[in-house]
Amino acid sequence: MTGTLICWDGRRVVLPDLTSWRMEYACGIPCDSFYLECLWEPGEAGALAEAVRFAAEEDGERVFTGVVDEVCCGWDEDGARLSVSGRSMAALLLDNEALGCDYQTATLADILRDHVTPYGIQVGRTDRLPAVPDFSVAMGSSEWQALYHFCRYYGGVTPRFDRQGRLQVCAWQDGARRVLDEDAAVLELAWKEKRYGVLSEVLVRDKTRDQVQRVVHSGFARRGGQCRRVLTMPGRSSYQAMRYSGEYQLQRAAEGWHSVELMLPGTFRAWPGELVEVNWKRDVCRGLWRVTESVCGMDARGAYTRLTLADAAAVV
């Protein structure tokens, strides 16, 4: 693993060999993060104060690009050490408040122009999302909220940042599956069924039309689930109803209904969004899953990857 700090004026500081590190990746919900430690000479701390970006590579492949949040230098009887922590490029959108505004008709290009590219963020692949009449950005919203509301509620796509620091606004691309069979070296495994917080039905009230729409999660309700939410659609815009729709609420709640947590030796064994097929003889966790979280690191115990998997069909 090679870590590099990039200063505000373009200077690059290559870090010495890392003694421990951890990188956490999620499935589009901010924010990916990193933490690392290495040996350091106390007299070289001046350049660290200028660092604003971080990049990491493993075997020539970029595995993280992000924002430096904290740099800490110190020493004790074991010598001088440096620790650096930060988040992905999504941090720039989370930390900046949007200027509240109303669009007569908003397109993805409008949202990117006003809420993303001013922060120097590069945009990668984008799907064609529908234009949204009467789209509003509320006062007090972050730039991330403005982007997320437009893409997720109206386009059905969760925006996310890749390992090169580029914004991706597109559906997951299902390529080759990672297969766990009888020979897989699984160090730890836990299968969970979480009923708390999973919704069995949603009632959506349209006060303008004096109507109530009932949406049911048939699978959970059939298994005895009883958890209802009542949502009221704003009367100002019918398009705004997508944000409050029962289908969206049910889907978000169902993402964590069934999950698998496992630990594998080695780093970067799978990335968020990738499909994992569990195909072993034991009748536990078999089937197709999608990675929602991946935590990779190296410490005194060695290199590891900890994965959280969810039902492949439940993750958008």
Q: Reply yes or no on whether the pLDDT at 22 is more than 90.
A: yes
Phi and psi (nearest 5°) for 94? Answer: -70, -35
Contact 108, 157 (CB under 8 A): no
Mean pLDDT over all residues of the chain? 88
Helix, strand, or coil (residue 153) = helix
Strands 167-169 and 123-126, by their bridges, are parallel
Contact 202, 251 (CB under 8 A): no
Confidence band of 235 (pLDDT split at 50, 70, 90)? low
Q: Pick the closest to residue 111 from 140, 83, 91, 131 (CA basis).
A: 131
Record the pTM.
0.86
Q: Reply yes or no on whether the pLDDT at 145 is more than 90.
A: yes
Q: Pick the closest to residue 163 from 308, 61, 69, 85 (CA basis).
A: 61
- Alpha-carbon distance of 268 to 307, in angstroms, equals 10
In order of their start, the domains of the chain are: 2-88 (2.30.300.10), 93-169 (3.55.50.10), 178-194+257-314 (2.40.30.150), 201-254 (no CATH)
Report pLDDT for 239. 45
- Alpha-carbon distance of 243 to 252, in angstroms, equals 12
Amino acid symbol at 265: P
Give mean pLDDT, residues 187-208: 85
Report pLDDT for 165. 96
Confidence band of 316 (pLDDT split at 50, 70, 90)? low
DSSP letter assigned to residue 140: T
Report pLDDT for 44. 60
- Alpha-carbon distance of 9 to 63, in angstroms, equals 23
Amino acid symbol at 12: R
DSSP per-residue letters across 52-100: EEEEEEETTEEEEEEEEEEEEEEEETTEEEEEEEEEETHHHHHHSBPPP
Contact 169, 149 (CB under 8 A): no
The encoded tokens of residue 30 equal: 């901010």
Give mean pLDDT, residues 263-289: 90
Report pLDDT for 260. 92
- Alpha-carbon distance of 70 to 37, in angstroms, equals 12
What CA–CA distances, in Å, run from 6 to 14, 21, 34, 119?
A: 9, 18, 15, 16
The encoded tokens of residue 290 equal: 């999608």
State how far Cα 84 lies from the chain centre. Answer: 21
Residues 6+ apart with CB under 8 A from 35: 21, 22, 23, 83, 84, 85
Report pLDDT for 241. 54
Phi and psi (nearest 5°) for 109? Answer: -60, -40
- Alpha-carbon distance of 123 to 113, in angstroms, equals 11
Report pLDDT for 243. 53
Terminal Cα distance for the chain, rounded? 31
Report pLDDT for 247. 74
Confidence band of 233 (pLDDT split at 50, 70, 90)? confident
Residues 6+ apart with CB under 8 A from 109: none
Q: 161: alpha, beta or left, given left = phi > 0 and alpha = psi -120 to 50?
A: beta
